[in-house]
Amino acid sequence: MATVVYLTKSRYTAGLQCLRRLWLNVHEPIARDEPKSGSSEDVEVEIGRMARLLFSGGVLLEEKPWEHAAAVRRTAALMADRSVPAIFEAAFEHSGVRVRVDILERRPRGYWGMCEVKSSGEVKDHHYDDVAVQAHVLCGAGVRLSSVEILHVNKDYVRGRREISWPKFFSRVNVRAEAKRRLDGIEARLKEQRVCLSRTRAPTVEPEAHCHRPFLCEHWESCTESKPADWVFYMPNLNVTRRAELKALGVDSISAIPDDFPLSPRQKVIRDVTRSGKPNVASDLSERLHGLGPPAFYLDFEAFLPAAPLYPGTRPYQTIPFQWSLHRVDSKGTVSHQEFLADADLDPRRRFAETLIHSLKNAKWPIIVYSSSIHLMSRRNSRNSPHICPV
228-277 tens-digit pLDDT: 999 999 999 999 999 999 999 999 999 999 999 999 999 999 999 999 99
- Whether residues 166 and 233 share a domain: the answer is no
pLDDT band at 3 (very low <50, low <70, confident <90, very high): low
- Whether 40 is in a domain gets the answer yes
- Whether 98 is in a domain gets the answer yes
- Phi-psi category of 377—alpha, beta or left, where left has phi over 0 and alpha has psi -120 to 50? left
- Whether 340 is in a domain gets the answer yes
Q: Is 76 helix (H, G, I), strand (E, B) or coil?
A: helix
- Whether residues 37 and 150 share a domain: the answer is yes
- Whether residues 191 and 48 share a domain: the answer is yes
| Beta-strand pair 7-8/97-106 | parallel
- Whether residues 323 and 371 share a domain: the answer is yes
Domain of 376? 287-388
- Whether 211 is in a domain gets the answer no
Q: Are 367 and 296 in contact (CB under 8 A)?
A: yes
Name the percent of the chain lying above pLDDT 70. Answer: 94
The rounded distance, in Å, linking the Cα atoms of 203 and 180 is 30
- Whether 91 is in a domain gets the answer yes
**pLDDT > 90? residue 51:** yes
- Whether 218 is in a domain gets the answer no
Distance of CA 72 to the CA centre of its chain: 30
Domain boundary among 262, 280, 298: 280
Q: Kindly tell me the sign of the dihedral angle through the C-alpha atoms of 229, 235, 238, 242.
A: negative
- Whether residues 257 and 117 share a domain: the answer is no
Phi, psi angle pair for 382, to nearest 5°: -75, 135
The pLDDT of residue 373: 52
Amino acid at 182: R
Domain boundary among 259, 280, 301: 280
Between 4 and 65, whose confidence is greater? 65
Amino acid at 91: A
What CATH number does the domain containing 49 carry? Answer: 3.90.320
In this prediction, residues 288-293 reach a mean pLDDT of 81
Other CB atoms within 10 A of residue 50 CB? 18
- Whether residues 361 and 265 share a domain: the answer is no
**pLDDT > 60? residue 382:** no
Domain boundary among 174, 196, 218: 196
The rounded distance, in Å, linking the Cα atoms of 117 and 167 is 13
Q: What is the DSSP letter of 50?
A: H
- Whether residues 138 and 189 share a domain: the answer is yes
Instruction: Work out the mean pLDDT of the chain and round it to a whole number.
Output: 91
**pLDDT > 60? residue 185:** yes
The pLDDT of residue 147: 96
In this prediction, residues 152-177 reach a mean pLDDT of 96
**pLDDT > 90? residue 347:** yes
The rounded distance, in Å, linking the Cα atoms of 232 and 254 is 5
pLDDT band at 364 (very low <50, low <70, confident <90, very high): confident
**pLDDT > 70? residue 353:** yes
The pLDDT of residue 385: 36
pLDDT tens per residue, range 68-90: 999 999 999 999 999 999 999 99
The rounded distance, in Å, linking the Cα atoms of 69 and 347 is 47
The pLDDT of residue 390: 31
- Whether residues 142 and 68 share a domain: the answer is yes
| Beta-strand pair 296-304/367-369 | parallel
The pLDDT of residue 370: 74
- Whether residues 190 and 249 share a domain: the answer is no
Other CB atoms within 10 A of residue 252 CB? 17
Other CB atoms within 10 A of residue 21 CB? 25
Range with the poorest average pLDDT among 38-52, 61-75, 97-111, 130-144 = 38-52
End-to-end CA distance of the chain: 74
pLDDT tens per residue, range 190-242: 999 999 999 999 999 999 999 999 999 999 999 999 999 999 999 999 999 99
In this prediction, residues 120-139 reach a mean pLDDT of 97
Q: Is 340 helix (H, G, I), strand (E, B) or coil?
A: strand
- Whether 41 is in a domain gets the answer yes
**pLDDT > 50? residue 374:** no
- Whether residues 27 and 160 share a domain: the answer is yes
**Number of structural domains found in the chain:** 3
**pLDDT > 60? residue 384:** no
pLDDT band at 38 (very low <50, low <70, confident <90, very high): confident
- Whether 119 is in a domain gets the answer yes
The rounded distance, in Å, linking the Cα atoms of 153 and 46 is 12
In the chain, DSSP finds a helix count (H) and a strand count (E) of: 13, 12
The rounded distance, in Å, linking the Cα atoms of 151 and 52 is 11
- Whether residues 146 and 34 share a domain: the answer is yes
pLDDT band at 371 (very low <50, low <70, confident <90, very high): low
- Whether residues 157 and 296 share a domain: the answer is no
